[in-house]
Structure 1
Amino acid sequence: WPAELDFYLKFASGRKILEVACGTGRITIPLARAGAHITGLDLSPAMLEVARRKSAGLEHLRWVEAGMRNFDLGEQFDLIISPGHSFQFMLTAAEQLECLETLKRHLAPGGTLILHLDHQDLAWLGEVGGEKAGIFQQGSDVSLPTGQRLRLFHSWAYDRATQTATADKYYEELGPGGEALKRLERGPLRLHCVFRTEMEHLLARAGLETLALYGDFERHPLQNSSSEMIWVVTLKGNAETR
């Protein structure tokens, strides 16, 4: 996403930061290199192992293995960020509220929580909830540093009853002439498709309030054509003091 890192850097100065669902440190490590004191939290030990290797020697950075829905670090943070649509891994209202309550407990008075979500495209959801559901399409070829070449195939399906989008992916390892040598499977990925008003209700129930809602990382207001929703929120009652 264009301007994503710059967006977080503007909030990071002089703040103690927690990133949830940090993965391999795509955002965490650049923030640490910029001088931030940051904790990266993720459920996947494999991703955290990659993150540790990538960040070797960096100061003011630690990694924690835990899920974003229910964890207890015993401390609070001035800034908590949830990039990359990770909040949408919470598939039910109960999971969403548990996650928000957990993040709220870790947010210091006057602190800021940033949640990056997808802005739902009803036309696309209609397609993958109908005739295109589960149909694999060829994506781009990828060249790895090892010299290995992979070709991506992906499909989406949408369940209107649960507002859940499921992505299935597999890769073909390619030979020198572009022929498929073997197929590499990847398990399904499920995301809850959160709509704006739904999110407003969730935040209110969790005792959080919105400071700003952007449609991209360049801070343009959310509008019909926006592909993203970037929620900047705080503890209820803090907004009036800012």
Structure 2
Amino acid sequence: MSTSTTPTTTGIVDDIGYGRQFDGWYHRLFPDDASVVAEVERLASLHPDPASGTVEFGVGNGRIALPLSRRVGRITGIDSSPEMLEVLRRNLTDDTSVEPVHADIRTYTADRTVGLVYCVCATLSMLLTPEEQRQAVQRAADLLTPGGRLVMETHNKPAILALHEGRSRATYFTPYPEPGTGLQSHSLLLPEGSLWHLSHVWYESDGTTRVGTEVSRLTAPEEMDAYARAAGLEPETRFGDWPTDTEPYAPDSPLAICTYVKPW
């Protein structure tokens, strides 16, 4: 494998504005807790060759890339949000080797291949058409060296549909460990294109609130498999959560995490 890298982008980076809404309180929604430890441990165990390099699609504030870099070395973190990348830069320390790159995961290219590309926290589902999702998976496959692995995680579509119990709308509250905090989510399923609209209200213990909205495309594991095959990757395994003692993937699993290998 080559040892130099020059990340490149094609055209203007198309940003949906996620970072402008959530950069100041993303860490409240997704704290550095035991779930991060489990995800980092699993990703490190899935890396076929840490010395070959790593790319994250949708690096955000570095919640996963920063601790993972302590395990596998340098990570190139791709994101379309300048706001989230600025948070990442502020979080960098002497022992975290993450390179923030402002780029579009549908068009990003580089002059080297790596052993692991991962795309987690439903980043793939932020692309709202099958064609856009297919483009991102092709870009990931192009970045992989033979024997390299792609890991993709998104919401588990059957579990989300079951949560709605046949209705298009649902509202639910998720309490957080810190007393007086929690997230209220108003969920709307749009029949066109499997789109999922979420409006969030975050409650702080001092009574203040934050509001944000997001739209994603519910993406079934079978669709991810089809994208991967079209990009020349071989489906490998599927699991429903990050801890290594998790039961195998099932329709009621909270997540759909799929791994693929590039043939030699």
In the superposition, the TM-score normalised over structure 2's length comes to 0.74
Q: CA 1:157 to 1:126, structure 2 compared with 1: closer, same or farther past 3 Å?
A: farther
Paired residue type of 2:161: L
Deviation at 1:98, TM superposition (A): 1.0
Q: CA 1:173 to 1:38, structure 2 compared with 1: closer, same or farther past 3 Å?
A: closer
Residue 49 of structure 1: aligned partner: 86
Q: Give, in whole Å, the separation in 2 of the partners of 1:127 and 1:83.
A: 21
| Aligned positions of 1:135-174 closer than 5 A | 136-140=171-175, 152-171=183-202
Q: Give, in whole Å, the separation in 1 of the partners of 2:60 and 2:89.
A: 11
| Aligned residues of 2:238 and 2:257 also touching (Cα < 8 A) | yes
Which of 206, 212, 222 matches 1:197? 222
Quick check: 151-160 or 100-109, which moved more?
151-160
| Aligned residues of 1:21 and 1:67 also touching (Cα < 8 A) | no
Which structure has greater strand proportion? 1
Residue-pair matches, total: 225
Deviation at 1:131, TM superposition (A): 4.5
Residue 222 of structure 1: aligned partner: 249
CA deviation digits over 1:145-167, x for unaligned, max 9? xxxx7664321111233111111
Which structure has greater helix proportion? 2
Q: Give, in whole Å, the separation in 2 of the partners of 1:139 and 1:221.
A: 25
CA deviation digits over 1:77-110, x for unaligned, max 9? 1110111121111211110111111112211222
Q: CA 1:228 to 1:33, structure 2 compared with 1: closer, same or farther past 3 Å?
A: same
Quick check: 107-116 or 34-43, which moved more?
34-43
| Aligned residues of 1:118 and 1:229 also touching (Cα < 8 A) | yes
Q: Give, in whole Å, the separation in 2 of the partners of 1:211 and 1:171.
A: 37
Which of 91, 102, 108 matches 1:65? 102
SS in 2 for 1:108: strand
Structure 1 unpaired stretches of 5+: none
Paired residue type of 2:194: Q
Paired residue type of 1:158: L
Q: Are 1:93 and 2:130 matched, yes or no?
A: yes
Which of 142, 161, 175 matches 1:125? 161
In the superposition, the TM-score normalised over structure 1's length comes to 0.79
SS in 1 for 2:135: helix
SS in 2 for 1:221: coil
Structure 2 unpaired stretches of 5+: 1-34
SS in 2 for 1:162: helix
Larger Rg: 1
Which of 218, 231, 237 matches 2:258? 231
Deviation at 1:205, TM superposition (A): 2.0
Q: Are 1:39 and 2:81 matched, yes or no?
A: no
